[in-house]
Chain A
Amino acid sequence: MIFAYSRRDLNGREWWTERFLEILPAVLSWGLLGSFFLLCIFAPVPGVVAVILFDLYWLFRLVYLTLFLVLSYVILEAERPTQWRKRLDDLHDLDKALERSRKFLSEPALNWKTYISEKRHLVTLERLKQRSLRFPSPSEIFHLIIVPFSTESLDVLESTLRALTRGNYPLEQLVVVMGVEERVGSRALKNANSLKEKYGAAFYHFEVSVHPDDIPGEAAVKGANATHAAKWAKDFFENKGIALSNVIVSCFDADTVVSPEYFGCLTYNYLIHPKRTKTSFQPIPVYHNNIWDAPSFARVLESGSSFFQLIEATEPEFLVTFSSHSMSFQALVEIGYWPVDIISDDSAIFWKALIAFEGDYRVEPLYVTLSMDVALGETFWDTCKSIYRQKRRWAWGVENFPIVVRGFLTNQRMGLFQKIQYAFRLLELNISWATWTPTVLILTWAPLLIPSPEFTSSVAHFNAPRVAGVICNLAFTSLAISIVLSFALLPKSPRRIPFFHKVLFALQWLLVPIFATIFGALPALDAQTRLALGRYMEFYVTPKGKPKVTQNF
């Protein structure tokens, strides 16, 4: 289905629909917060009831999410030592691989990680055998890696390429395209060329693509740069006689440091997927490149971002692409590449594909990590500002909501229930993002702070804080699990971290509701309000620190 995934050039009715849907998230978020607040002032008892129900809902949601966070983490941990190229070898002869795997699993001395990993592999092999799925040989698969960038430093870019060369995957199956923005000046091109000189020979092909500044209909967004590079790649593969269905494209942020097993894992998951050309592949993003140079509150926040993806990975039916990820190049070409005027290209590409393939598109989680930079500034406050802007950019993903809903409205072949589910989840995610921490953190206690004589003499005035306190304490047990997992997920520090600092880091998790309000809810409200007011955001390049650690898993 052809749908222009853009908010530009809309006619009267489409424009009004778009504007209505742009305003809706902000109205709902502010309306929810405002109605809670007004209820607490003018009808404190119903206000307390509403807040308790909301708090309780969030407690259940938190416990529910923590449960899946643990499950997802267990799988990630189990797959950490997996050598995916060996798994790819198993795909050549399924019968032999099944026999080997069953025998291996019957060994008594297996540790739990190996057992879970191998069991997952065995289930896959059995499924492949049962369904007689046809797939190309791993050696026929090519990886197109597009790294669009603008002002990122040579250090940051080099760490990305260095990680590619250190991967446990044949480099002759990798095509790297550095997407240079013409508008940022010659320095970016110089950097790209110097990297080509240093690393170009290592790959099947290394291309420097210069994205012109004057292409009509484009905005200054990363998607436009990536699209320009992808169009070059289409011609390249076609000229080489390589089927586009055998090409997997990975669009990486400039600071993406891949795990050595990333391409092995990606290839494996691509090949075993029955609808591989209608699927995106989402690794777990971690922010470890400069994690030990970041203030500890930033570590807490970024761990939270990784946790979110870990949790989302447990529900592939509704998984949406985020940040650096991979997909079938054939699918990308079929849907007309990335949107060229949308900032949140990472999630927009999924929605665009979902609409284009009339609901027959999904995201498959990869239990392998990609590491990126924590947004850092020169000073502590600069870092705060950078993180705030970065989160606001993430929250700007709300711009997809009106476009997606318009796409659903025009799409007749996609199931109504599926449309409602996706639209509701997209809206609910953004509303929750903007409202849950202010509600839990501030509005829970609002009825107590407002001296309504009627309320201060009610039983609810005394019992509500007690109930809220119990809910908060229970919520903190979920947080305790997060603390443990955050330590487990962290890479080894290049220098010795004193025990006291570790304790401080752990304790900072207790401030998560405050951090999540300042660097979660506020940027989300900011982004939604901007969208509602029609003050569309321009692309902001997050300042990234010089990577210090490239260790990954």
Chain B
Amino acid sequence: MGKLRRVIFFLFLAVYLGIAPFTVLYALGYIFSPAQQSLIPTGLISLSTAPENASVQVNGKEIKDKTPLVLRNLKPGQYEISLSLSGYHPWHRRVQVKPDRAFRFESILLFPLELSLETLTDFRIRKIWHVAGGRYLVIIPADASTALYLFDLEEKEFRLFNLPEGYTNAEVTKIAFHPDGDKALIFLTKGALSESFFAEFPEPVQLKPLDRFFDKSGIENLSWSKIRRAALFHLKGEVLQRTDIEKDRTTVIFNQPVRGFSVHRGNLYVLDPKGRFLELSEKGKVRDILLDDPKKAKLIFGPGKIDFHSIFFIENIPLFFVPENSFAFFLSKNGKLLSNKLPFLLDENVEEVALAKSHPRVAYRKGKELWVVDFEKEKEKTFFESGPTPRRIYAGLLPISSPIWAYEDRYLLFLEGNHLKIQNFEDEENITNLLSISSTASQFVLDSKRGYLYFVDPVENRLVSTKIPKEGIQLAPPILTELVDDLVGQGEASK
């Protein structure tokens, strides 16, 4: 038996040594080319769609399998990929396959050609307000009214709440929703009258007047407390205050002028004119000095007073061995978009910013253009390489507005004029025109959690809803921007 075992051992060893190199080469994407009589490296394309089962054409030839699928053993070269599914917008892409490279298209949302619409109101609408992720939608009727409507996205029912005395047919100038979506400050204007009120949903029986707390110039920047139930931070002049609505009290939090502030994870962040960027507790105690260098601050932020009305934060995705890394963005009144990462100044003439929820990336609009800065890509760059590069992902014919991130922060919904469009931020070839909405009430509300889109229709000006794919349908990791750069050309992507 021992001899037999040795013979078989050496036989197995020989087979192992023969098979192992080929197995490894196959895993690395090498195939034997009879034409070249040698092993050649290949690339692949991975495709998945929502919904699945889309037909795939490669260079005009139909593939037997449907999505999701992986096209393997592709020799380097250019491939035309088309996806089609009956009743849905088609998708096309030209891909330059490179050796050993995998092109992942794993988040292709196919939108229906025809969206079935449901009209929800029998009255005309002037405007709708909503906080992302919130449960309620505030509807302002177009016609003379003594009340506003509250639409419950969960229950799909309307509630009425009366306007305060003297504010019948008043103009709603701003609604500052609490991030939970169940509280808001409502700013009403009627003629010379202008006042702010506090409302709690869903039963806003009484609107609590708050005007005495607010300086009219300070209402641009309001930040709700993350710790206190109904407290918010705001500026009165250049002074940062906290108003506790339930206690009916205002407290000065930071006894020095500030250029801008923000609340993030229970901390206050303030930028002061001396060029200090501080992290404070909600009570105003300094927890950390993030920047204390007047020269550097002047270089980054320039001189100025209360000008950074928006400071945003997004968290990097924490990995177990990578320390958490925060990204801060500063949007100035004159449209400068700055970041705490090199090269600090991201862009100018920025009109509106949309932050991704769970990825370090930001979208912003400039007139007819939509731009994206993706910090996730920057992680790969070495220390001395240039910082984030804004990339224009769409240039329209009409002004662009209301960009919002959706579907795991891979898609951007935005309005071009009154056309609602959706685009994968890494895919500039495929943009889907979803529908047209009212030009007067150019608002839409995406309830991606439940899979509904709400808007005011352009003909009747009524509230309409349509079903769209729900959030969470795609679980694949994001497409690498590197690949997109490969596709669109490095030069084109840069400013």
CA distance A71 to B379 in the complex (A): 56
CA distance A67 to B7 in the complex (A): 13
Q: Which residues of chain B are near A453, meaning CB under 8 Å?
A: 379-380, 480, 482
Which residue among B2, B15, B46 has the maximum number of chain A CB atoms within 10 Å of its CB?
B2
- Establish whether residues A463 and B27, one from each chain, have CB atoms under 8 Å apart when the complex forms: yes
In-complex Cβ contact of B101 among A48, A49, A457 (8 A): A457
Q: Which residues of chain A are near B319, meaning CB under 8 Å?
A: 451
CA distance A63 to B15 in the complex (A): 12
CA distance A460 to B319 in the complex (A): 23
Q: A60-B16, A453-B480, A457-B482 are in contact. Are A52 and B1 (CB under 8 A)?
A: no
**Contact segment of B18-26, B175-183, B198-206, B425-433:** B18-26
- Establish whether residues A315 and B2, one from each chain, have CB atoms under 8 Å apart when the complex forms: yes
In-complex Cβ contact of B480 among A52, A456, A459, A464 (8 A): A456
Q: Which residues of chain A are near B103, meaning CB under 8 Å?
A: 457
Interface status of B290 (Cβ within 8 A of chain A): no
**Closest A residue to B483 using CB positions:** A457
Q: Which residues of chain B are near A271, meaning CB under 8 Å?
A: none
Q: Which residues of chain B are near A56, meaning CB under 8 Å?
A: 16, 19-20, 23
CB 8 Å contact bits of B80-121 with A (1 = contact, 0 = none): 000000000000000000001111100000000000000000
CB 8 Å contact bits of A308-332 with B (1 = contact, 0 = none): 0000001111000000000000000
- Establish whether residues B1 and A314, one from each chain, have CB atoms under 8 Å apart when the complex forms: yes
How far is the CB of B76 from the nearest CB of chain A, in Å?
11
In-complex Cβ contact of B1 among A64, A315, A462 (8 A): A315
- Establish whether residues A463 and B1, one from each chain, have CB atoms under 8 Å apart when the complex forms: no
In-complex Cβ contact of A49 among B9, B16, B24 (8 A): B24
CA distance A13 to B277 in the complex (A): 62
Q: Which residues of chain A are near B72, meaning CB under 8 Å?
A: 459, 462-463
CA distance A451 to B320 in the complex (A): 12
**Closest A residue to B46 using CB positions:** A462
Main DSSP-derived SS at the A contact region: helix
- Establish whether residues B29 and A459, one from each chain, have CB atoms under 8 Å apart when the complex forms: yes
Q: Which residues of chain A are near B2, meaning CB under 8 Å?
A: 314-317
Interface status of A548 (Cβ within 8 A of chain B): no
Interface residues of A in 434-461 (CB under 8 A from B): 451, 453-454, 456-461
**Closest B residue to A71 using CB positions:** B1
Interface residues of B in 311-331 (CB under 8 A from A): 319
Interface status of A53 (Cβ within 8 A of chain B): yes
How far is the CB of B197 from the nearest CB of chain A, in Å?
47
CA distance A315 to B2 in the complex (A): 5
How far is the CB of A149 from the nearest CB of chain B, in Å?
35
In-complex Cβ contact of A451 among B9, B29, B477 (8 A): B477
- Establish whether residues A45 and B28, one from each chain, have CB atoms under 8 Å apart when the complex forms: yes
CA distance A487 to B319 in the complex (A): 46
- Establish whether residues B16 and A460, one from each chain, have CB atoms under 8 Å apart when the complex forms: no
CA distance A316 to B28 in the complex (A): 41
In-complex Cβ contact of B5 among A45, A52, A68, A467 (8 A): A68
Q: Which residues of chain A are near B480, meaning CB under 8 Å?
A: 453, 456-457
Interface status of B139 (Cβ within 8 A of chain A): no
CB 8 Å contact bits of B24-63 with A (1 = contact, 0 = none): 1011110000000000001110100000000000000000
CA distance A67 to B379 in the complex (A): 50
Interface status of A424 (Cβ within 8 A of chain B): no
Q: A63-B12, A315-B5, A467-B26 are in contact. Are A459 and B477 (CB under 8 A)?
A: no
In-complex Cβ contact of A458 among B15, B26, B100, B477 (8 A): B100
Interface status of B8 (Cβ within 8 A of chain A): yes
**Closest A residue to B479 using CB positions:** A457
- Establish whether residues B27 and A467, one from each chain, have CB atoms under 8 Å apart when the complex forms: yes
Interface status of A57 (Cβ within 8 A of chain B): yes
In-complex Cβ contact of A467 among B8, B15, B23, B46 (8 A): B23
Interface status of B70 (Cβ within 8 A of chain A): yes
CA distance A456 to B101 in the complex (A): 9
- Establish whether residues B102 and A459, one from each chain, have CB atoms under 8 Å apart when the complex forms: yes
- Establish whether residues A462 and B8, one from each chain, have CB atoms under 8 Å apart when the complex forms: no
Q: Which residues of chain B are near A461, meaning CB under 8 Å?
A: 102
- Establish whether residues B27 and A48, one from each chain, have CB atoms under 8 Å apart when the complex forms: yes
**Closest A residue to B43 using CB positions:** A459
Q: Which residues of chain B are near A68, meaning CB under 8 Å?
A: 5, 8
Q: Which residues of chain A are near B477, meaning CB under 8 Å?
A: 451, 456
- Establish whether residues A314 and B5, one from each chain, have CB atoms under 8 Å apart when the complex forms: yes
Q: Which residues of chain B are near A63, meaning CB under 8 Å?
A: 12
How far is the CB of A296 from the nearest CB of chain B, in Å?
32
Q: A314-B1, A315-B5, A316-B2 are in contact. Are A459 and B44 (CB under 8 A)?
A: yes
- Establish whether residues A463 and B28, one from each chain, have CB atoms under 8 Å apart when the complex forms: yes
How far is the CB of A464 from the nearest CB of chain B, in Å?
5
How far is the CB of A127 from the nearest CB of chain B, in Å?
14
Q: Which residues of chain B are near A454, meaning CB under 8 Å?
A: 380
How far is the CB of A269 from the nearest CB of chain B, in Å?
14
CA distance A535 to B273 in the complex (A): 62
Q: Which residues of chain B are near A48, meaning CB under 8 Å?
A: 27
Q: A315-B5, A451-B477, A458-B100 are in contact. Are A52 and B12 (CB under 8 A)?
A: no
Which residue among B20, B101, B380 has the maximum number of chain A CB atoms within 10 Å of its CB?
B20
Q: Which residues of chain A are near B101, meaning CB under 8 Å?
A: 457-459
In-complex Cβ contact of A64 among B12, B20, B70 (8 A): B12
- Establish whether residues A460 and B28, one from each chain, have CB atoms under 8 Å apart when the complex forms: yes
- Establish whether residues B102 and A457, one from each chain, have CB atoms under 8 Å apart when the complex forms: yes
CA distance A453 to B374 in the complex (A): 14
CA distance A68 to B9 in the complex (A): 11
CB 8 Å contact bits of A371-394 with B (1 = contact, 0 = none): 000000000000000000000000
**Closest B residue to A319 using CB positions:** B2
How far is the CB of B380 from the nearest CB of chain A, in Å?
6
In-complex Cβ contact of A462 among B16, B24, B102 (8 A): B102
- Establish whether residues B23 and A52, one from each chain, have CB atoms under 8 Å apart when the complex forms: yes
How far is the CB of A361 from the nearest CB of chain B, in Å?
16
**Closest B residue to A45 using CB positions:** B28
Q: Which residues of chain A are near B5, meaning CB under 8 Å?
A: 68, 314-315
- Establish whether residues B12 and A49, one from each chain, have CB atoms under 8 Å apart when the complex forms: no
CA distance A56 to B2 in the complex (A): 24
In-complex Cβ contact of B29 among A49, A60, A67, A463 (8 A): A463
CA distance A67 to B11 in the complex (A): 13
Q: Which residues of chain B are near A315, meaning CB under 8 Å?
A: 1-2, 5
Q: Which residues of chain A are near B24, meaning CB under 8 Å?
A: 49, 52-53
Which residue among B5, B8, B16, B100 has the maximum number of chain A CB atoms within 10 Å of its CB?
B5
Q: Which residues of chain B are near A451, meaning CB under 8 Å?
A: 319, 477
**Closest A residue to B476 using CB positions:** A456
CA distance A49 to B100 in the complex (A): 14
Interface residues of A in 23-76 (CB under 8 A from B): 45, 48-49, 52-53, 56-57, 60, 63-64, 67-68, 71
CA distance A316 to B103 in the complex (A): 54
Q: Which residues of chain A are near B483, meaning CB under 8 Å?
A: 457
How far is the CB of B358 from the nearest CB of chain A, in Å?
14
Q: Which residues of chain A are near B46, meaning CB under 8 Å?
A: 462
Q: Which residues of chain B are near A458, meaning CB under 8 Å?
A: 29, 100-102
Q: Which residues of chain A are near B9, meaning CB under 8 Å?
A: 64
How far is the CB of A405 from the nearest CB of chain B, in Å?
24
Q: Which residues of chain B are near A456, meaning CB under 8 Å?
A: 102, 104, 477, 480
CA distance A314 to B28 in the complex (A): 38
Further 6 A-B residue pairs, CB within 8 A, beyond A56-B16, A64-B8: A68-B5, A316-B1, A451-B319, A459-B29, A460-B27, A460-B29
Nearest 9 Cβ contacts at the A-B interface: A459-B29, A463-B27, A467-B27, A60-B16, A64-B12, A314-B1, A464-B27, A457-B480, A317-B2
27 residue pairs A–B, Cβ–Cβ below 8 Å = A52-B24, A56-B23, A57-B16, A60-B12, A60-B15, A63-B12, A67-B8, A68-B8, A315-B5, A453-B379, A453-B380, A456-B477, A456-B480, A457-B103, A457-B104, A457-B483, A458-B101, A458-B102, A459-B42, A459-B43, A459-B101, A459-B102, A460-B28, A460-B100, A462-B72, A462-B102, A463-B26
Residues of chain B whose beta carbon lies under 8 Å from any beta carbon of chain A: 1-2, 5, 8-9, 12, 15-16, 19-20, 23-24, 26-29, 42-44, 46, 70, 72, 100-104, 319, 379-380, 477, 480, 482-483
